[in-house]
């Protein structure tokens, strides 16, 4: 049941995420009249700000990250909602002052926690000690939530001491993206896909999340994590689960997450015997991205490293529906372009009547493009206009659903707008349940153990390329080409 809260508390309120995403998202919700009336937003961090200084800080962040989208009177109203409490979250004593600053929370409190992992334990303890973990308080947790199954369990256990699962909202910002939610609309709002959405109709699935950025000043975090844990463990496995899941009975957090977790638990383990053939890892060297010369990973890092900045995996879901259908996943930094998409390659027609007349058929492909553009495109065969004296010419043409054009009058929202509003209102559907996270980690840990056992090191690739050539080999040996 949705139950909007009266107060929002942001930990890490001066951090990068707050500046780039959270404050702009909250402003957007405020400007559209979507935040509960009277909702106050309390930021906390170690900075010695008072309310006025934090409002100034937020204003600057909005100027930088929402340059054209601001309305001065909405901005003034938004800033009035903000207040700030300076504290060191590692010290339990400080939470008493925070509770005082928040005042009466009988109208409900939503907490958004985006802090360094080592602050998790003291923060949860502090919240509990200060009476900020009661039945009307819910908590949103931003990653990283551990770096393997064991540490993720520890964090989940710790959080569970103060917040039961139904009040714990684990964030995967990919689930806030409009096109990701559109996977559900496409699959379960249209009758034509489901009958062929299985091993009989689909040859393989590709999921690519390629980025052009490098370390972006996050060396401390990224070098300990790498591409598999930064992107595959969470975002890409969630995409895979949405593509592969059985139709849920209803649109709610239980039904949808029950189906996703079944997929995640059905991922075929990839271990020491399989990693060499089923996974490829790479690390970028110098090169040029979008015409700009960039340094290699270890130069940026200023030390040697075996962390992978690229990973490609051939995954399988062991179920009746997906038997024999590979899911090729790949993601990396400093690649040739920023492109996130899911491409579903259907099987060829069982018999071509065009072959004798020279007509060549391509199997259909459905492309779900998440970014930078948002579209769904079905590639279908069509006859080229003409009298066909020299044979029938067939060509693949796109049936295009450009979401940007079809919904041109609707503002494209930041993923966090959706997630923050759902947190404030208490709708868990687009948040990740504990069993999902743990199933994700279990599969990822197996791959990492396999890399370790085989002493696998990342292969170099030039910045601005599509990753190491071995990643091409991963699909080509199955007769599949990456969609680029
Ligand atoms: C984050 C990763 O979770 O997702 C980053 O930590 C990555 O490394 C980012 O750049 C990608 O998100 P998006 O929304 O830009 O595709």
CA 472 → CA 157, 206, 311, 334, distances in Å? Answer: 41, 13, 12, 17
DSSP per position, 239-301:
HHHHHHPPPPSSSSHHHHHHHHHHHHHTBPP--TTTHHHHEEEEEEEEEEETTEEE--HHHHH
Please, is 331 exposed, middle or buried when counting C-beta atoms within 10 Å of its C-beta (0-12, 13-18, 19+)? Answer: buried
At 353-396, the pLDDT tens digits run 999 999 999 999 999 999 998 999 999 999 999 999 999 999 99
Structure tokens at 177: 């993206």
Q: How far apart are CA 365 and CA 362, in angstroms?
A: 9
Instruction: For each of the domains in the chain, give its residue range(s) and CATH number, in order of start.
Output: 7-142 (3.40.50.720), 176-410+434-476 (3.30.360.10)
Per-residue confidence (pLDDT) for residue 116, from 0 to 100: 83
The β-bridge partners of 315 are: 327
Question: What is the whole-number distance in angstroms between the Cα of residue 415 and the centre of ligand 1?
Answer: 12
Q: Report pTM.
A: 0.96
Question: What is the whole-number distance in angstroms between the Cα of residue 293 and the centre of ligand 1?
Answer: 22
CA atoms within 13 A on the CB side of 237: 30
Question: What is the whole-number distance in angstroms between the Cα of residue 16 and the centre of ligand 1?
Answer: 13
Q: Residues of the chain whose pLDDT is less than 50? A: none
Residues written for the chain:
484
DSSP H or E segment with residue 8? strand 7-11
Q: How far apart are CA 443 and CA 453, in angstroms?
A: 16
- Residue that the structure tokens 């990643």 belong to: 471
Which atom of ligand 1 is the closest one to the Cα of 213?
10
Q: Take atom 2 of ligand 1 and give the residue whose Cα is closest.
A: 230
Determine contact, residues 307/222, Cβ cutoff 8 Å. yes
CA 121, distance to chain mean position in Å, is 25
List, chain by chain if needed, residues with CB within 6 Å of any ligand 1 atom: 211, 230, 340
Which atom of ligand 1 is the closest one to the Cα of 143?
3
Q: How far apart are CA 93 and CA 292, in angstroms?
A: 49
Question: What is the whole-number distance in angstroms between the Cα of residue 335 and the centre of ligand 1?
Answer: 14
Q: Take atom 4 of ligand 1 and give the residue whose Cα is closest.
A: 231
Q: Take atom 13 of ligand 1 and give the residue whose Cα is closest.
A: 174
Q: Take atom 6 of ligand 1 and give the residue whose Cα is closest.
A: 230
CA 148 → CA 65, 139, 452, distances in Å? Answer: 33, 22, 14
Residues catalogued as catalytic: 235
Q: Take atom 14 of ligand 1 and give the residue whose Cα is closest.
A: 174
At 16-69, the pLDDT tens digits run 999 999 999 999 999 999 999 999 999 999 999 999 999 999 999 999 998 776
Per-residue confidence (pLDDT) for residue 1, from 0 to 100: 57
Helix runs in 130-177, H state only:
149-162
Question: What is the whole-number distance in angstroms between the Cα of residue 128 and the centre of ligand 1?
Answer: 31
Mutate to test the pocket of ligand 1, among 231, 337, 432 (most ligand atoms within 8 A of CB): 231
Order across the sheet with 109-113: list the strands: 82-86, 40-45, 7-11, 109-113, 137-141, 168-170
């Amino acid at each position: 049941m949705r139950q909007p809260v009266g107060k929002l508390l942001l930990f890490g309120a001066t951090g990068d995420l707050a500046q780039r995403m959270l404050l702009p998202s909250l402003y957007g919700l405020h400007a559209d009249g979507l935040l509960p009336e009277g909702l106050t937003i309390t930021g906390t961090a170690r900075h010695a700000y008072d309310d006025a200084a934090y409002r100034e800080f937020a204003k600057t962040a909005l100027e930088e990250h929402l340059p054209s989208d601001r309305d001065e009177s909405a901005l003034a109203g938004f800033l009035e909602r903000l207040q700030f409490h300076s504290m060191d979250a590692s010290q339990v004593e400080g939470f008493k002052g925070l509770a005082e600053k928040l005042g009466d929370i009988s109208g409900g409190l939503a907490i958004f926690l985006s802090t360094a992992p080592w602050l998790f334990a003291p923060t949860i303890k502090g919240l509990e000690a200060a009476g900020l973990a009661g039945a009307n308080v819910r908590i949103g947790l931003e990653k990283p939530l551990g770096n393997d199954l064991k540490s993720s369990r520890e964090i989940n256990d710790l959080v569970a001491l103060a917040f039961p699962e139904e009040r714990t909202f684990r964030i995967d910002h990919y689930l806030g993206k409009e096109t990701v939610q559109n996977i559900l609309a496409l699959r379960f709002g249209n009758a034509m896909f489901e009958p062929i959405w299985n091993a009989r109709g689909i040859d393989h699935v590709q999921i690519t999340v390629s980025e052009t950025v490098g370390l972006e000043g996050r060396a401390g975090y990224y070098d300990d994590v790498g591409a598999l844990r930064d992107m595959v463990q969470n975002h890409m496995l969630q995409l895979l689960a949405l593509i592969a899941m059985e139709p849920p009975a209803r649109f709610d957090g239980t039904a949808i997450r029950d189906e996703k977790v079944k997929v995640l638990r059905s991922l075929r383990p990839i271990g020491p015997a399989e990693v060499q053939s089923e996974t490829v890892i790479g690390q970028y060297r110098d090169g040029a991205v979008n015409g700009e010369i960039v340094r290699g990973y270890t130069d940026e890092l200023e030390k040697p490293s075996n962390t992978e900045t690229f990973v490609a995996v051939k995954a399988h879901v062991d179920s009746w529906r997906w038997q024999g259908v590979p899911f090729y996943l790949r993601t990396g930094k400093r690649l040739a372009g920023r492109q996130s998409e899911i491409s579903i390659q259907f099987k060829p027609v069982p018999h071509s009547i065009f072959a004798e007349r020279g007509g060549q058929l391509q199997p259909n492909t459905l492309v779900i493009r998440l970014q930078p553009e948002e579209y769904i495109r079905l590639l279908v065969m069509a006859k080229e206009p003409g009298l066909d004296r020299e044979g029938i010419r067939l060509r693949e043409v796109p049936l295009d659903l450009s979401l940007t054009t079809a919904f041109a009058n609707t503002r494209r929202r930041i993923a966090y707008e959706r997630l923050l509003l759902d947190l404030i209102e208490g709708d868990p559907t687009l948040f990740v349940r504990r069993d999902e996270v743990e199933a994700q980690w279990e599969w990822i840990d197996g791959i990492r153990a396999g890399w370790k056992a085989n002493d696998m090191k990342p292969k170099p690739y030039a910045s601005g390329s599509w990753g190491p050539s071995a990643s091409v080999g991963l699909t080509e040996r199955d007769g599949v080409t990456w969609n680029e």
